[in-house]
Amino acid sequence: MNLTLIALAPIVIILVYIYIRDKYDKEPLSLLFKSLLAGAIIVIPIVILESWLSGFIGNPSSYQAAAYNAFVVAAFSEESFKFLALYLLIWKSRHFDERFDGIVYAVFISLGFAAVENIMYVYNHGLSTGILRAFTAVPAHAIFGVCMGFYFGLSKFSTENTSINLMKALFIPILLHGVYDFILMTGHPLLLFVFIPYLIFLWRYAIKKLKNAH
């Protein structure tokens, strides 16, 4: 029970925060639950795709392997399915009626995925991993969701650069996610030294997008 609580507590806190930030037209709880559930369900195809993509790498250098695993296996697989779930579930919904809604639904989908991933990590690696991920991986998934949702909403309600913003909704989260994973996967001391500054950059980036979306 303690491990489950540690795994899910940061998820719930961020979800409540995002829900509260949606000040003007609250989204229906039923659709938010569907978004959360969709994020959890996409874990299955993501695991399959990641396993398949992992088979294409031979014996590259450690940095090449880290880059491939970070940007292709992890970031591309995870963010692509989050984007697909967001598009299929939300794009034509009558409840998607303002830019900020894109952020709300994208974060719920992202954290649905993060909840399953976090439970798996915490039960496999213990309490300390859960505490560490509460301040790193879980907020990172939320930030990637904020970024995806911001450009998703911009694409829906802007009369210019619709296709470009929709592409940004997919590829900018992949880039941010890939850099995050690459830093950790290399294990290089100099790169690990910039991990905390990179987290701070992600937080500030997300806060700016939240303000701009309103």
Q: Are 6 and 119 in contact (CB under 8 A)?
A: no
- Please give the radius of gyration of the chain, using alpha carbons only, rounded to the nearest integer: 17
pLDDT tens-digit series, residues 130-178: 899 999 999 999 999 999 999 999 999 887 788 999 999 999 999 999 9
Q: Please, which pLDDT band fits residue 63 given cuts at 50, 70 and 90?
A: confident
pLDDT tens-digit series, residues 132-145: 999 999 999 999 99
pLDDT tens-digit series, residues 110-119: 999 999 999 9
Cα 56 off chain centre by: 24
Query: Structural domain of residue 72, as residue ranges?
Result: 2-213
Q: What is the largest CA-CA distance in the chain?
A: 53
Q: Are 112 and 50 in contact (CB under 8 A)?
A: no
Residues 6+ apart with CB under 8 A from 133: 10, 118, 121, 122
Q: Please, which pLDDT band fits residue 60 given cuts at 50, 70 and 90?
A: low
Q: Please, which pLDDT band fits residue 1 given cuts at 50, 70 and 90?
A: low
The DSSP output letter for 113 is H
Domain count, the chain: 1
- pTM equals 0.94
